[in-house]
Structure 1
Amino acid sequence: MFAALLLSFAAVFLAELGDKSQLVTMAFALRYRRRIVLAGIATGAALVFGLAVTVGHVLGAALPTTAVAVLSGAAFLAMGLWSLRLHEPDTDGTPRESAAARRSGFLAVTSTLMLCELGDKTMLAAMSLASTHSALGVWAGATLAMIAADALALAVGRMIGSRVSEQRIRLLSGYGFLAAGGWTIAATQPAVPAAAALAAAVAVPALAALSRWGVLRLQQV
């Protein structure tokens, strides 16, 4: 079991470095308190890797990963566009976070992380390892690795958040979701190289920023 834990921890941690889940975590770090994000990460990781090791160990089958990834990417795009739509100050010019938004933070982080990981390479790695190693060890190692990797992204996000205004924080989080969506959808195509997926992650929020700038300019005319 301990060997399975170490193996899955190393595999998942290395796979998560620079992955879209870290991008999403940074976006959430700009919007919610640290303990809410960490709790959501831990819960989402435990659930998604629990599903992965169950499928790998018991069923030996794979989920329809392409379809799941496309749906996840579409959800990220929708969240990003909705966030940008809400990026207007209140009537007194001061942006405020509602009590409902604070209460829903945990569920938002948990569900989004699960969407992010369903069908991802880390989930597939956990499924594969669970088919030949201790399921409990693989689950524990993968979950701890996800928490550790995303905790790094959370720290970076908090550093950024302490230096920028609330409205810019919300804009950055919206663009972060758009980048994750573009990356996820582009990566579902086997023929698309990693560089092209990264380009999509840059192009989608860039186009959104350009469109938003154009709309604001038209409103000023």
Structure 2
Amino acid sequence: MTMEAFLVSALAVTVGEIGDKTQLLALLLAARFKRPLPIIVGILAATLLNHSLAGLLGEWIRTALSPATLRWILGISFLLIAAWALKPDEIDEEAKERGHYGVFAITCITFFLAEMGDKTQLATIALAAKYPDLLQVVAGTTLGMMIADVPAVILGKVASPQFPFKLVRFISAGIFAVLGLAVLLGFGALL
């Protein structure tokens, strides 16, 4: 189950992050500052903190609720995330330089705040509620964020107009819908 938690978490967040506001934020930061290394390290730090907190909440939910209640909440949560994945994200000019912070600090702060209440954070909560291995869930969701966001940083604005965000949103919605239906229909042990 440990490797399963890691792989499902990584896949769900990788696909869920494509076209997400935090990926758009990565593109914006890369285009603005043109310093990929501090942006990538900032994304990693912010994601580790954010997803660790989300994972702890998911773990608490798993221990606080009965298995039947948890199954319904998780199934419905995954279906809601699937619906949310169909809506294109937009980003405010949130990443404008603030004071004399470095690129790393700006990235950490803006990524952490942008990820609050985001579908990938909610997916992390749901995955941590489903799988008992918190470390594997957080490692998987963090890897998923990095798989999706590092290329966005490296490529900056060059590849973003040609990227099939709409198709990826549908694939992401499909993955979360399958997870939700599997949990609701009692096939959650297969995931």
TM class by shorter-chain length? 0.5 to 0.7
Matches within 5 A, 1:61-76: none
Equivalent residue letter for 2:39 = V
Task: Give the partner amino acid of 1:120.
Answer: D
Q: Give the conservation status (yes or no) of the 8 Å contact 2:11–2:144.
A: yes
TM-score normalised by structure 2 residue count: 0.61
Alignment correspondent of 1:114: 112
Instruction: Give 2:130's aligned residue.
Output: 132
Report the Cα offset of residue 158 of structure 1.
6.5
Give the alignment's Cα RMSD to 1 decimal.
2.4
Q: With the length of structure 1 as denominator, give the TM-score of the two structures.
A: 0.53
Instruction: Report the 3-state secondary structure (helix = DSSP H, G, I; strand = E; otherwise coil) of the residue aligned with 2:19.
Output: coil
> Is contact 2:94–2:110 with CA below 8 Å preserved after alignment?
no
Deviation of residue 156 (structure 1)? 2.1
Residue by residue over 1:171-201, the C-alpha shift from the partner in whole angstroms, topping out at 9 and shown as x without a partner, is xxxxxxxxxxxxxxxxxxxxxxxxxxxxxxx
The separation in 1 between residues aligned to 2:157 and 2:41, in whole angstroms, is 16
Cα pair 2:41 2:104 within 8 Å, conserved: yes
Unaligned residue ranges in structure 1 (runs of 5+): 62-75, 87-99, 161-221
8 Å CA contact retained: 2:26, 2:152: yes
Letter in 1 for 2:130: T
Match of 2:3 in 1: 2
* Distance in 1 (alpha carbons) for counterparts of 2:118 and 2:53: 13
Match of 1:154 in 2: 153
Could you tell me how far apart the structure 2 residues matched to 1:17 and 1:136 are? Answer: 23
Percent identity of the aligned residues?
A: 34
> What is the aligned length?
129
Provide the secondary structure at the position in 1 that maps to 2:130.
coil
Change in Cα spacing, 1:111 to 1:118, as seen in structure 2 (3 Å) is: same
Q: CA deviation at 1:3?
A: 0.8
What is the aligned partner in structure 2 of residue 56 from structure 1? 58
Query: Which string of whole-angstrom CA distances, capped at 9 and with x for unpartnered residues, describes residues 97-120 of structure 1?
Result: xxx74x521111011111111111
In structure 1, the partner of 2:39 is 37
Distance 2:135 2:93 in 1: 35
